[in-house]
Amino acid sequence: MSRRSKFLAFLLMIAFGVGVNRYIALHKTALTATATTPNHTKAAFALPGTIYLAQDGKIYSLTNGDFSVVPLPDAGAWMQPHVLPDGTLMVIARGPAYSDLYHVRGDGSVIAQLTHNHVSDKVIQENHWVFWPTTNADGGTLYASYDLPKPAYNVSYQEDLSIWAGQPASKLNAVRWSVPDPYTGGDVQPQVLADGSIVYATYAIAPSNHVVSVIAWQKTPTAKIVPLTTQDDDCNSPAVAPDGITIAMVCSADSQATTIKIAHLTAGKLDTPVTAVSACLCNSPAWAPDGSGMLYLAPGDATGKFQMWWLKGAGTATPDAPKLVSDGSVDLDALSPPTWFIAGAKAATSAPS
Amino acid sequence: MRDQAPPPRRRRASAYGRGVDPITPAPRERHRVRTAMLVLLGFLVAGGLGVFSYYATTVVEAFGIFGQTTTPTVATPSGQAVPTSAALAQTAAPAPNQPFTMLLLGSDNDAKTGGGPVLTQSMILARVDPVNKKVTMLSIPRDLYVQLSTGQTDKIDKAYLFGGANAAIATVENNFGVHIDHYAWIGLQGLVNLIDKVGGVDVVASNPVLDDYYPADLSGSNPYAYERVAVLPGAQHMSGSEALQYVRSRHGDLRGDFGRSFRQQQVLLALRAKAKLLGFADVPDIAGAIQSDFKTDVAVTEMGSLLPLAGSIPLANVTQVVLLPPYTTATTIGEQDVLLPNWDLIRHEVSQDFPS
């Protein structure tokens, strides 16, 4: 073997060793792969109008299959957008110890900061949380979950969310709608029906000593709540369809899997729910403005990154199979329901009887 | 029978035109074979070095993490430490495929302790039945007031503080009447890193977990400071720090430590779901992430078989037990809020869920 051949063989051995090392490295699972930001992806298909959703503290719009960042100012991690009939948005900016509600335009410019919950950096317990903004059909009344009232610093540990309402132009915390079960986390995810009544998820400690959720219906701020689901169902995330009586909800029966169920609110109660999607990690259902289907968020594969799915014909006798809208590499904020704007879209609306 | 004579050897012409023995290669041929063997060996060594360089750090870290030795002992009235009866009764490791028990410990290894001894904020006794693919998880409340193996009567979370894993194991063995085959201890930062390294966990958060007095010991410079936590409910993909907030927060929960136990079991099951997706190539990253924040007496070789086992057990076969009243009664002793155990009920439950 010539000296040159030996040298060549030596180089090949080194290359082989490096190759083996890299080969093993290539077989690492893709669990930790960083999520792609939606604006670097394309939707699998186009849906009409504009859909707003959140990922990693930013709000994205989806129009004609293209995602774009909504260039909001640096006020915290943006989440839970809710589109108003005029196309503007209510959106939450979450800081480290507080969250605030903003009214913004689709181009990211701020119309108004509606809450000022950053009260103190020194006594952080004086700050407040606000989540899940929504409005009634004309956008004139704003509803949200708010951690008011709460005890003064060092008095007690109690911290629960209640449903509050107000005019967007004034204080959100004008009218308190709900009184939560203490130390459960409280009442969340309000949705407004055509007659001005609201449904929301309320948490309670079940006889099993687990905290479970019930969909509550409440006609006025002072009215007693009507439970629409049972503690065994453990349902939350209600989404009222444009018809005003169809409600999608996420039920987990106190387990680590969820089911999206759809039922109709008639004669003061829900009829037998139909299962729309079962055995999933689904969250945040949201109806199309014309009621033709429903969006929801759930992982697309074992990495657990949340994707947006479209269920055409949800709630009908013959729904289509769910279709993946996002491209699988994004990781959408599962706690921010998509919100959908189609200019002039209007569905037949009825008030619950 | 007469031995047959071997057939005459045929001779063949060599390159040099001389006849050679075909069984004994010519020197040049021998040289070629030797060269080929050396080249092959070279490639094998190079490949081996490639594998070694990938896993080298893991092997070094594994010596510090895995295979910790334990000898659970209990203090006698004279102050002598003797092995627990459970340890004496069963000193051999369980045979392959036999059910085994494992004590999972989670600690505040935070800045408050300055790196010194720590309490266990979480104790979960698990029994794994590999053949029937069943798991039972019993959350032991940290405030359970028991006779510690180190001699004192105190909250069970102090066993680890006073005597490390040995004392924690011995205390559980003595009080619960169950033998513990293995233990694993993880610190706060280790849990955060572990969850991040597996790409987060998917959890259906049971309720809004709000806590205005959550310790900011990992996120700030003052270990006694607080931070506000709001983990929102529903199915979600949690990062390590979000999952830690979910399992650690207790102030906003009427059930206190019990509520936290439920949530800890949820995240443990979510981690188990991720474990079944991991491959051997992921081991260095994970070992690197948890290094000083994880200890176990499970050997590295056993760990290889435990990971696939964790993933093979269906969720429906996991039984979760939390020692709510009447198993325990809340009271105050001295200035401490403690839980008094009802040992008759607890040991009956344990004898059913953790048969020897």
Residues A23-59 have pLDDT tens digits of: 777 777 767 778 999 999 999 999 999 999 999 999 9
Q: Does residue B184 or residue B78 have the better pLDDT? A: B184
Q: How would residue B349 be classed by pLDDT, with cut points 50, 70 and 90?
A: very high
Q: Which residues of A touch B43 (CB under 8 A)?
A: 12-13, 16
Q: How far apart are CA A241 and CA A274, in angstroms?
A: 14
User: What DSSP letter does each residue of B9-30 carry, written as one string?
Assistant: PPPEE-TTS-EE-SSS--HHHH
Rounded to an integer, the average pLDDT of A302-326 is 94
Give the model's pLDDT for residue B6: 56
pLDDT above 90 (res B35):
no
Maximum pairwise Cα distance, chain A: 96
Phi, psi values for residue B50, rounded to 5°:
-60, -45
- Using only C-alpha atoms, chain B has a radius of gyration, in whole angstroms, of 28
Q: How would residue B15 be classed by pLDDT, with cut points 50, 70 and 90?
A: very low
Q: What is the mean pLDDT of chain B?
A: 82
CB proximity under 8 Å: B 206-265 to A = 206-213, 226-228, 230, 232-237, 251-255, 258-259, 262
- Give yes or no for a contact between B203 and B238, defined as CB atoms under 8 angstroms apart: yes
Q: Of the ranges A146-150, B35-39, B283-287, which one carries the lowest mean pLDDT score?
A: B283-287
Give the model's pLDDT for residue B102: 94
**Structure-token match 């003595």, residue found:** B174
Q: Of the ranges A117-121, A142-146, B186-190, which one carries the lowest mean pLDDT score?
A: B186-190
Q: How far apart are CA B39 and CA A311, in angstroms?
A: 61
Encode pLDDT of A182-222 as tens digits. 999 999 999 999 999 999 999 999 998 899 999 999 999 99
Q: How would residue B270 be classed by pLDDT, with cut points 50, 70 and 90?
A: very high
Q: What is the DSSP letter of B323?
A: -
Q: How far apart are CA A231 and CA A253, in angstroms?
A: 8
Q: Does residue B319 or residue B287 have the better pLDDT? A: B319
pLDDT above 50 (res B74):
yes
CB spacing of A16 vs B235 below 8 angstroms: no
Q: How would residue B182 be classed by pLDDT, with cut points 50, 70 and 90?
A: very high
Give the model's pLDDT for residue A303: 85
- Give yes or no for a contact between B193 and B240, defined as CB atoms under 8 angstroms apart: yes
- A207: tokens are 């006889």
Rounded to an integer, the average pLDDT of B168-175 is 96
Interface test with B, best of A3, A11, A12, A31 (most B CBs within 10 A): A31
CB spacing of A281 vs B322 below 8 angstroms: no
A7 close to B (CB below 8 A): no
Give the model's pLDDT for residue A276: 96
Q: How would residue B23 be classed by pLDDT, with cut points 50, 70 and 90?
A: low
Is residue A122 left, alpha or beta, with left meaning phi > 0 and alpha meaning psi from -120 to 50?
alpha
Rounded to an integer, the average pLDDT of A93-101 is 95
Rounded to an integer, the average pLDDT of B87-102 is 69
Rounded to an integer, the average pLDDT of B99-122 is 80
Give the model's pLDDT for residue A208: 87
B47 close to A (CB below 8 A): yes
Q: How far apart are CA A300 and CA A35, in angstroms?
A: 12
Nearest CA in chain B to A121: B227
A117 close to B (CB below 8 A): no
Encode pLDDT of A66-89 as tens digits. 999 999 999 999 999 999 999 999
pLDDT above 50 (res B308):
yes
Give the model's pLDDT for residue A22: 80
Distances (CA, A) of B297 to B86, B160, B303: 17, 15, 10
CB spacing of A334 vs B269 below 8 angstroms: no
Give the model's pLDDT for residue B87: 53
Q: What is the mean pLDDT of chain A?
A: 92
- B65: tokens are 């993490």
Rounded to an integer, the average pLDDT of B234-258 is 91
A208 close to B (CB below 8 A): no
Enter the pTM of the model.
0.84
pLDDT above 60 (res B212):
yes
Which residue from B45, B50, B230 is facing A18, i.e. has the nearest CB?
Answer: B50
Q: Which residues of B touch A117 (CB under 8 A)?
A: none
Give the model's pLDDT for residue A30: 67
What percent of chain B has pLDDT above 70?
A: 77
Q: Which residues of B touch A20 (CB under 8 A)?
A: 46-47, 50-51
Give the model's pLDDT for residue B184: 92
